Amino acid sequence: MAVIETRELRKSYGRIEALKGVSIRVEPGQIYGLLGQNGAGKTTLIKILLGIVRKTEGDASLLGHAAGDPYARKRVGYLPEDHAFPVYHTGYSLMDFYGQLYGMARDDRRRMIPEMLELVGIAGRMHSKIRTYSKGMKQRLGIAQSLLHAPDLIILDEPTDGVDPLGRREIRELMGRLKEKGHTLFLNSHLLGEVELVCDRVAILQQGTLVREGTIADLTRQAGRYDVGLADGQAFPADAAVKLGFAVAPLPDRPGRFEVTLPAGQTIDPVLRLVAEQGLSLRHLVEKKQSLEDAFLATVEGAEPGVDRRPKGRRGARPVGGDD
Amino acid sequence: MGQFVAILKDSFREAVDGFVIYLMLGLSALLVVLVASISYKPAPAADALPKLLGGQPWEPPSRFTVIFPDRGKSTAPTGVPARVDYRPAAVEDTPGGGAKFVLRVRPHRDTPRMKFDAPGEKAEKGDKADTKEPNDDDPADDPKGPDGFRWAVYAWAQPAGEKVNNPFADKARRANPDKRLLELVTPPAATEADLKAVTDEDMAAFVRYQFATFAGTDNVTVTRRPGAAEPRYEFDVTVPTVSGARGWPHEISVLFGVFPPMKGFSLGQGLSFIQDQLVNGIGSAVALMISVVITAFFIPNLLRKGSVDLLIAKPIGRVQLLVYKYVGGLTFIFLIACVAVGGVWLATGVRSGSWDPSFLMVIPVLTFTFAILYAVSVVVAVFTRSAIAAILVTLGFMLFLYVFGKVKTFFDVNKVVGITELPEWSYTLVDTLNNVLPRYKDLDRLISRLVAESTQTVGDARLQGLLIDYPSWTGTIGVSLGFIAVMLALASWRFVKRDY
């Protein structure tokens, strides 16, 4: 059973389509990243899953229940983007409040709250009013509250927002530990480096449409492009390779190395045979990859950001819930 | 249940966050200290009895002349055409804080007597019997007429007659439409034999009842003294204690006796002023207005981006969330009411010995009154997400309800006494609105009634018209609850339908 599954999910705000038939599937134990420009529909998707926003069409399920079902929400921890915790609480009392809403027993709350706050590094200030917390501390508190009731699914919308580099690394490590414990994480972040480091699968939304989806390896692979290098002093038979239909170009920053691009439907094998026939020694052969950021930029390049403001003169809610 | 308690606690935290709640609690504490500084000392019997028996200076007729038929079971009073005077003599204060005196009863002088159908000699209207100063000690100077005292005792013991219009009511209602007035019942017809059949025990029982009803004194011993020629009567009266007697005149000192004591007011009047005027009147109005302002921020804060997401994502329904939050918002005024009303009740109890818990009903009723206003505030807040809009609309609604209460009273009175000509549709409109709008003003009246019952003597409360024609609790609470339910349903509908 998928932890999250959406099929042809659509959301319209009047004439504006925030989601245009998005279908994703998140399996148990995965860390799933959702990427997209501002207004791409990421937060809208999350809010539909949690029942904060109503879908227009399509299906969405969470832990086997219809999106927004209270029973499913009981098994979900959620950190919203731009959260605004009530400042009249202390860190401890807020966690206690939320714990009660999740139906946690008093003893469990007393045990878990200090543990969770310790986990995110703010246990020393748990009895201080939230209004005295820095942005980073509030973010850590937000993560702690999302973990309090040991949820099966943790949805984190920009979890490292406002957190310093050291804190980000701690959060990444925490996400890794949570995955090891069997939790499923659904991550929405602009920090592509982090997503690349922790996520198993990634989806890229563009103006409400799912434009790419797959593992990190899938998204970063540059299919059909190889970095080829021979033994020192040997010259790559570029002309012969070109005659076979391959495109060959020297790599400017790596002397003696060439980028070989396969024609459609072809493999690298003819080039390898050519090298062997000419008695040359192959020393380096790697299918070229790109960073997730490059892949993301290549995907969304040239596209207009989505709309995240209410159309002038129109009444009603904003097309999307967050800044995305 | 756990979620409800959680949100109640959260609302409580929100309510006590900030200085306003502490300012309010400080003001409440000041009020309690002020009330605690008021002392009530029973006036000496020699000073108190003339006021008690003769009525207050601005109430020339003695309250003792008012008769509640059916041995007091009738709340509508009657009178007999021949009035009597009650005078104390040989007054002594007794060591136990009581009083011992002779009660002299005699026909009333210098009052025009109206024609009536009664046994005995008929008095003539305007029969000013004497041109010379009458001699109180000379029975020969007594006005001629029936034995008013025997008739009073007889009327007291008989079942109540039919209700009649108070002939003074129309004029008084025109002067003050909001004033509630007594209804009267006709006195019983009595034959000479009926009056003669009144025994000394009946007379003593009547006097005891009058003391209990108008002085609030219990266990009064009354024995008829021989010697006085009828229609004069004398009784030996012993009041064991006047401590805590609500109708007994007291010397009331404020600010721990810094100022000279006020004299002439009964204990009940003093307590009624504090509880009804000061706390239920001024205090409640201030508390309601401040609470409207403070709590108007609760729902907009809840609906803020980043805050509402967190709560809606929890396993709790939106309607539940809103209703729980609404109930939680009532904790603000409940807390203030508990401190102010509970404190005043304790202070008055300690200083006066009056521990009637009815006044504590102000706490739930004030909270309920606020619940009406807060329901409006919640609707506005859910639709606009603006605290300012919620404050303005709610205060405007509060003013509207107050004005409408006045208008309704005027229409009710006008229907009876015809102050002015009004079109029929205006009555329909006012009645329809009254059926759907919360009974804001009626709640105030019902509390006034409770306070009157708990502070004043039964007789005084009835004389002030406080027990007559009051709205029912059921109707008042029912219509108001219906209004609250409609408001919350509207707010819930919007909250459920909206994307956040």
Which of the following CATH numbers is that of domain A4-218: 1.10.3720.10, 3.40.50.300, 3.40.47.10, 3.40.50.10440?
Answer: 3.40.50.300
Does position B222 have pLDDT exceeding 60, yes or no? yes
Q: Do B315 and A102 touch (CB under 8 A)?
A: yes
For testing contact with chain A, the best of B10, B20, B321 (most A CBs within 10 A) = B10
Q: How far is A189 from chain B (nearest CA, A)?
A: 16
CATH topology of domain A223-289: Alpha-Beta Plaits (3.30.70)
How many beta-carbon contacts under 8 Å exist across A and B? 90
What token pair was written down for B118? 């009664």
Task: Say what the pLDDT of residue A312 is.
Answer: 47
Q: What is the mean pLDDT of chain A?
A: 87
Asked whether residue B31 falls in the same domain as residue B138, the answer is no
Across the interface, which of B2, B13, B499 has its CB nearest the CB of A100? B2
CA distance B64 to B73: 16
Within-domain flag for B254: no
**Nearest by Cα to B449 from B340, B337, B365:** B365
Q: Do B10 and A70 touch (CB under 8 A)?
A: no
Within-domain flag for B305: yes
Mean pLDDT of B403-415: 86
| Residue B235 backbone phi and psi in degrees, to 5 | -135, 140
Alpha helices in B418-469 (DSSP H): 424-436, 440-455, 458-463
CA distance B9 to A109: 16
Does position B154 have pLDDT exceeding 50, yes or no? yes
Asked whether residue B25 falls in the same domain as residue B118, the answer is no
DSSP string, B347-358: HHHHHH----GG
Residue located via tokens 């006034």? B448
CA distance B332 to B75: 39
> What are the angstrom distances between the C-alpha of B478 and each of A102, B270, B451, B481, B484?
35, 33, 22, 5, 10
Is A131 near chain B, with CB under 8 Å? no
Is A47 near chain B, with CB under 8 Å? yes
Mean pLDDT of B368-384: 96
CB A193 within 8 A of CB A295: no
Exposed/middle/buried for B175, CB within 10 Å: 0-12, 13-18, 19+?
A: exposed
Q: By percentage, how much of chain A surpasses pLDDT 90?
A: 54
Asked whether residue B395 falls in the same domain as residue B470, the answer is yes
Task: Say what the pLDDT of residue B121 is.
Answer: 47
CA distance B444 to B406: 12
CA distance A317 to A304: 21
Q: Do B306 and A52 touch (CB under 8 A)?
A: no
DSSP secondary-structure letter at B240? S
CA distance B204 to B176: 39
Task: Say what the pLDDT of residue A44 is.
Answer: 93
pLDDT tier, B115 (very low <50, low <70, confident <90, very high otherwise): very low
Within-domain flag for B253: no
Query: Which chain B residues have a beta carbon less than 8 Å from that of A54?
Result: 499
Cα B99–B101–B103 angle (5° rounding)? 130
Handedness of CA A145, A147, A150, A151 (dihedral sign): positive
Query: Which chain A residues have a beta carbon less than 8 Å from that of B311?
Result: 101
| Residue B319 backbone phi and psi in degrees, to 5 | -65, -45
Which residue on chain A is closest to B314 by alpha carbon? A73
CB A106 within 8 A of CB A95: no
Q: Pick from B247, B278, B294: which residue ends a domain?
A: B247
CB B341 within 8 A of CB B296: no
Within-domain flag for B101: yes
Task: Say what the pLDDT of residue A136 is.
Answer: 87
Task: Say what the pLDDT of residue B469 is.
Answer: 60
Which residue on chain B is closest to A145 by alpha carbon? B310
pLDDT tier, A270 (very low <50, low <70, confident <90, very high otherwise): very high
Query: Which chain A residues have a beta carbon less than 8 Å from that of B305?
Result: 82, 84, 321
Does position A307 have pLDDT exceeding 60, yes or no? no
Q: Do B310 and A74 touch (CB under 8 A)?
A: no
Is A221 near chain B, with CB under 8 Å? no
Higher per-residue pLDDT: A283 or B449: A283
Asked whether residue B239 falls in the same domain as residue B99, the answer is yes
Residue located via tokens 């108001």? B480
In one-letter notation, the amino acid at residue B12 is F
CA distance B263 to B167: 33
B220 contact partners, CB below 8 Å, separation of at least 6: B207, B208, B211, B212, B237, B238, B239, B240
Q: What is the mean pLDDT of chain B?
A: 85
Within-domain flag for B356: yes
Q: Do A101 and B6 touch (CB under 8 A)?
A: yes
Residue-number span of the structural domain to which B197 is assigned: 44-247
Task: Say what the pLDDT of residue A105 is.
Answer: 94
Q: Do B313 and A82 touch (CB under 8 A)?
A: no
Asked whether residue B352 falls in the same domain as residue B267, the answer is yes
**Three-class HEC string of chain A:** CCCEEEEEEEEEECCEEEEEEEEEEECCCCEEEEEECCCCCHHHHHHHHHCCCCCCEEEEEECCEECCCHHHHCCEEEECCCCCCCCCCEHHHHHHHHHHHCCCCHHHHHHHHHHHHHHCCCHHHCCCEHHHCCHHHHHHHHHHHHHCCCCCEEEEECCCCCCCHHHHHHHHHHHHHHHHCCCEEEEECCCHHHHHHHCCEEEEEECCEEEEEEEHHHHHEEEEEEEEEECCCCCCCHHHHHHCCCEEEECCCCCCEEEEECCCCCCCHHHHHHHHHCCCCEEEEEEEECCHHHHHHHHHCCCCCCCCCCCCCCCCCCCCCCCC
CB A170 within 8 A of CB A15: no
Query: Which chain B residues have a beta carbon less than 8 Å from that of A13?
Result: 499
Does position A111 have pLDDT exceeding 90, yes or no? yes
| B421 sits in which H/E element | none
Handedness of CA B165, B166, B172, B177 (dihedral sign): negative
Within-domain flag for B121: yes
Q: Pick from B221, B247, B273: which residue ends a domain?
A: B247
Least confident of A21-30, A229-238, B20-29, B466-475: B466-475
Task: Say what the pLDDT of residue A311 is.
Answer: 46
Query: Which chain A residues have a beta carbon less than 8 Å from that of B15?
Result: none
Task: Say what the pLDDT of residue B167 is.
Answer: 63
Does position B144 have pLDDT exceeding 50, yes or no? yes
Cα B335–B341–B346 angle (5° rounding)? 120
CB A47 within 8 A of CB A320: no
Q: Do A101 and B310 touch (CB under 8 A)?
A: no
Alpha helices in B177-317 (DSSP H): 192-196, 200-214, 267-272, 284-295, 298-302, 308-312
Asked whether residue B235 falls in the same domain as residue B275, the answer is no
- pLDDT digit string, tens, across residues B255-305: 888 888 888 889 998 999 999 889 988 999 999 999 999 899 999 999 998
Query: Which chain A residues have a beta carbon less than 8 Å from that of B14?
Result: 86, 88
Q: Do A88 and B17 touch (CB under 8 A)?
A: yes
User: Sheet harboring B249-253: ordered strands across?
Assistant: B39-42, B249-253, B262-266
State how many domains chain B has: 2
- pLDDT digit string, tens, across residues A132-166: 999 889 999 999 999 999 999 999 998 888 788 88
End-to-end CA distance of chain B: 26
pLDDT tier, A319 (very low <50, low <70, confident <90, very high otherwise): very low
Handedness of CA B14, B16, B19, B20 (dihedral sign): positive
CA distance B393 to B299: 15
Task: Say what the pLDDT of residue A19 is.
Answer: 93
pLDDT tier, B58 (very low <50, low <70, confident <90, very high otherwise): very low
Q: Do B315 and A101 touch (CB under 8 A)?
A: yes
Which residue on chain B is closest to A94 by alpha carbon? B10
Which residue on chain B is closest to A67 by alpha carbon? B313
pLDDT tier, B364 (very low <50, low <70, confident <90, very high otherwise): very high
Q: How far is B500 from chain A (nearest CA, A)?
A: 6
Mean pLDDT of B356-385: 95
User: Sheet harboring B233-239: ordered strands across?
Assistant: B84-94, B98-107, B233-239, B221-225
DSSP secondary-structure letter at B88? E
Q: Pick from B247, B272, B303: which residue ends a domain?
A: B247
- pLDDT digit string, tens, across residues B6-54: 999 998 888 888 788 888 889 999 999 999 999 999 999 999 998 888 7
CA distance B456 to A260: 105
Bridge pairing between strands B262-266 and B249-253: antiparallel
Residue located via tokens 């003769």? B54
CA distance A188 to A192: 10
- pLDDT digit string, tens, across residues B312-342: 999 999 999 999 999 998 988 898 899 999 9
Residue located via tokens 């004030």? B366
Q: By percentage, how much of chain B surpasses pLDDT 90?
A: 49
For testing contact with chain A, the best of B314, B318, B383 (most A CBs within 10 A) = B314
Residue located via tokens 């999250």? A4
Q: How far is A288 from chain B (nearest CA, A)?
A: 42
CB B378 within 8 A of CB B67: no
Residue located via tokens 């605690």? B36
Q: Do B2 and A89 touch (CB under 8 A)?
A: no
Query: Which chain A residues have a beta carbon less than 8 Å from that of B320?
Result: none
Which residue on chain B is closest to A101 by alpha carbon? B3
Q: Do B10 and A103 touch (CB under 8 A)?
A: no
| B87 sits in which H/E element | strand B84-94
Q: How far is B316 from chain A (nearest CA, A)?
A: 6
Q: Where are chain A's structural domains?
A: 4-218, 223-289
CA distance A251 to A248: 10
pLDDT tier, B420 (very low <50, low <70, confident <90, very high otherwise): confident
Task: Say what the pLDDT of residue A18 is.
Answer: 92
CA distance A147 to A81: 16
Q: How far is A321 from chain B (nearest CA, A)?
A: 7
**Residue B478 burial (CB count, 10 A):** 12
Within-domain flag for B29: yes
Q: Do B314 and A53 touch (CB under 8 A)?
A: no
Candidate ranges A67-71, A297-301, B116-120; pick with highest mean pLDDT: A67-71
Task: Say what the pLDDT of residue A302 is.
Answer: 60
CB B269 within 8 A of CB B59: no
Buried b (16+ CB within 10 A) or exposed e, A58-67: bebbbbeeeb
Which residue on chain A is closest to B499 by alpha carbon? A53
Bridge pairing between strands A221-230 and A257-261: antiparallel
CB A241 within 8 A of CB A271: yes
CB A185 within 8 A of CB A3: no
Is A148 near chain B, with CB under 8 Å? no
Q: How far is A270 from chain B (nearest CA, A)?
A: 57
Is A83 near chain B, with CB under 8 Å? yes
- pLDDT digit string, tens, across residues B175-197: 666 665 667 788 888 888 999 99
For testing contact with chain B, the best of A100, A107, A129 (most B CBs within 10 A) = A100
Asked whether residue B339 falls in the same domain as residue B433, the answer is yes
Is A317 near chain B, with CB under 8 Å? yes
Write out the residues of chain B at the interface with chain A, using a CB-CB cutoff of 8 A: 2-3, 5-7, 9-10, 13-14, 17-18, 301, 304-317, 498-500
Does position B230 have pLDDT exceeding 50, yes or no? yes
